[in-house]
Amino acid sequence: MNAPRIKSKGVLPIVVITCLILFGGILTGARIHGFSFTAWHSVIDGSPHREVFFNKANRYRTDDWIVMLPHMLAQQADQPPFATENRLIGDGHYNMLITCAAPVRDPMVLFRPQVWGYFISGDIGMAFQWWFYVFGTWIAVWLVLRRLTGNDEWTSACGATALLFSPFFQAWALNCTPTVIFACGTLFSLVRLRTTLSTLQLLLSAVLLAWFGVAFLLTFNYLPYLVALFYFIVFVFTGLALTRKSNDITDQPAPGVGTGPTIPDIYADAPLRKRASLTRHSWEKTRWACALLAVLCIIGMGAYMAVSNWETIAIIRNSDYPGQRFSSGGDQTIWHLFRGNVLSIKPPPEWWDFNPCEGAAFFLVFPLVVAALLRDWWRTRKPPNGLLLGILGYIAFLLIWNLIGFPELLSRWTLMNRAPPFRTLIGLGIADILLLAVYVSHRQQLMPASRKDYVTPWIVSAFWITFHVALGFKLSGHFPNYSINTALIGGLFAMALAPLLYLAPRLVLPAIMIASILTTYNVNPLARGGTAFIQENSLSQKIRSIDQEAQKQSHQPVWIAYGDAALPNLFRMIGSRALNGVHAYSQLELWKILDPQGQFRPAYNRYAHVVFEMPSVPDDFKIRLVHNDSVAVCLHPDNPRFAALNVDYLLCLDNQIESLDRVSKLKKIYSHAGRHIYRVERPP
């Protein structure tokens, strides 16, 4: 490719990919996954997490066990299953194509492979999704690194593993990985399309580009990652395009000639040069035509998705969150970006204004690589190639966005206003791994040094160590009970990377890989199944029996859960309809019943965990914003607005029963493990 060719040691990508897919299939068949789904035990009845056999579930991973997985399982529980509109959530017309990558009977599911397992069962779905995250990320990053490093197998494998086990990826339970997988797949397809000399490979590359491009576009439900990684593709591919092709660009056959001579071979024959020029011109036209068709396919599928779901998209665009969440950048500091170099090794006992997810970051070493590149340039008088400059350009782009910001007009036209700086850290972490991997692999091709330099490495190392000492002081002052000694110990590993990069550069990436594995292997649990408990626990069985009795009379009961953010999401997983829980977009038809004048619209016009609370008196009604993504509805069952909701049953915790017991229209019909069900009595 455009990178210097390093002879592969017989590792065929198809063999590696096949082995990983088979291994993933075995784990999926065993229903093993790494989600913290068993946290539902604590919410429902406090029973032991028997499904977990390694580590423990993390309750702070609410994005998984409260938000995403209940949405997935709601598609199975609904009747008919896997509809584009789920009747169990919110107003009963809940769009499942836009809210998340859910299993839906729609052509778009072909571009969301992470959810295919749910069409078999809930447990298979969770396992398939988890191992798609794991092995999909490793394979996609590995293939890209092989291309960028010229088949440097060792560096590529270490880089892919280091990224997979990075504190950022693991703390977020890999929920960012679909965007990463499809971004890497898009980049890989672009590179193949640009360099292949085989007709069959060209067509295959165009198909892959179209598929990965559409799949990447369909991760729009979280725009910050999509925007950040779009520019990752642009910068890296531009860098590759600017890199001069080497004579050994490929060992593939020429177009339409089978295993015959390649174009460079034809050039060697002077009488055929004119014919070769025409062949090359025709071949480039074919290449551009394939690329254009792939791009048109991506645009067409995106347009179809937008037009067919425009009503929901308009609601989200006009919402206060995330629709009107705009940024002009510049709100991060150096310590925000480099905190992972210290906190990844020795995390604080209390995260203060972070949680373990928000506080997680990457091991970043790009300043060291930049210094090494400048030193090599001075010593060899040969500047870095276009690929390295492309990656460096992307890093500079993100640094400006994070530390300085863009003018409002520029941030809007580049769509960076949709990517808050703290959410673009994912791009910086990926670029850091790529920069280090490409530098290490290219360094072997450097010309002999024309100038000697033994001082610069130690000066750079001294500055790097000093920076981490200052970083340790900053972090120890920010986090409670986080001493300077602890911070300095946490920074020792990052400090040691500076001299290591100069003394043994090929060991830096393996060192980061090992450190990442050792610091994150116990972050996520390994569990087997989990949906059986959701269906078979006493509370769920009671709710389902109530629903079944009502359905015999052709009635679908409507539920509300009081006083808890998690419990309302149980209903959707077992086939019951609940008004509250997580609403990925504002359920305006539902809110019109409670707030016809729109007085409280700024509070509920958003993605939100909707919680019902019991006010002291019936007339005390309000809807208030608790957090940016949490809304509390203070509604008394004796309030006329409650009657307008046509609620049949209430579910609550112990802390609500004293107030609810005093409501004459409510009759308690079930109590177990601190969970209580009330029936709403209506006049005959």
pLDDT digits (tens, 9 = 90+) for 107-160: 999 999 999 999 999 999 999 999 999 999 999 999 999 999 999 999 999 999
Q: Quote the CA–CA distance of 565 and 567 in Å, as a whole number.
A: 6
- Residue 260 pLDDT: 39
Q: In DSSP terms, which residues pair with 52 in a beta bridge?
A: 527
In the structure, what pLDDT confidence band is assigned to residue 453 with cuts at 50, 70 and 90?
confident
| pLDDT per position as a tens digit, 357-369 | 888 999 999 999 9
* Identity at 16, one-letter amino acid code: V
Q: Could you identify the residue written with the tokens 């990463």?
A: 180
Q: What's the pLDDT at 355?
A: 76
Confidence of residue 265 (pLDDT cuts 50, 70, 90): very low
- Residue 679, classed as helix, strand or coil, is strand
Contact 20, 162 (CB under 8 A): no
Stretch among 85-89, 283-287, 412-416, 622-626 having the lowest mean pLDDT = 283-287
Q: Residue 38: pLDDT above 60?
A: yes
How confident is residue 273, by pLDDT bands cut at 50, 70 and 90?
low
Q: So what's the pLDDT on residue 358? A: 85
Condensed to tens digits (0 to 9), the pLDDT of residues 546-571 reads 999 999 999 999 999 999 999 999 99
SS3 content of the chain, % helix, strand, coil (to 5): 60, 10, 35
Confidence of residue 12 (pLDDT cuts 50, 70, 90): confident
Q: Is 582 exposed, middle or buried (0-12, 13-18, 19+ CB in 10 A)?
A: buried
Task: Outline where DSSP puts E strands in 506-579.
Answer: 526-528, 558-562, 577-578
33 pLDDT tier (thresholds 50, 70, 90): very high
Angle at 224 between CA 219 and CA 226, to 5 degrees: 35
Query: Average model confidence (pLDDT) for the chain?
Result: 91
CA gap 166, 344 in Å, rounded: 9
Entry field: residues in the chain: 684
Q: Which two tokens stand for residue 335?
A: 């310590």
Calculate mean pLDDT across residues 175-202.
94
> Could you tell me which of 557, 541, 563 has the C-alpha nearest to residue 626?
563
Share of the chain above pLDDT 90, in %: 82
pLDDT, tens digit, for every residue of 583-595? 999 999 999 999 9
User: 3-class secondary structure for 630-648?
Assistant: EEEEECCCCCHHHHHCCCC
Residue 322, preceding bond cis, omega within 30 degrees? Answer: yes
pLDDT at 10: 52
In this prediction, residue 477 carries a pLDDT of 87
pLDDT, tens only, 508-552: 999 999 999 999 999 999 999 999 999 999 999 999 999 999 999
Give yes or no for a contact between 635 and 641, defined as CB atoms under 8 angstroms apart. Answer: yes
pLDDT surpassing 90 at residue 11: no
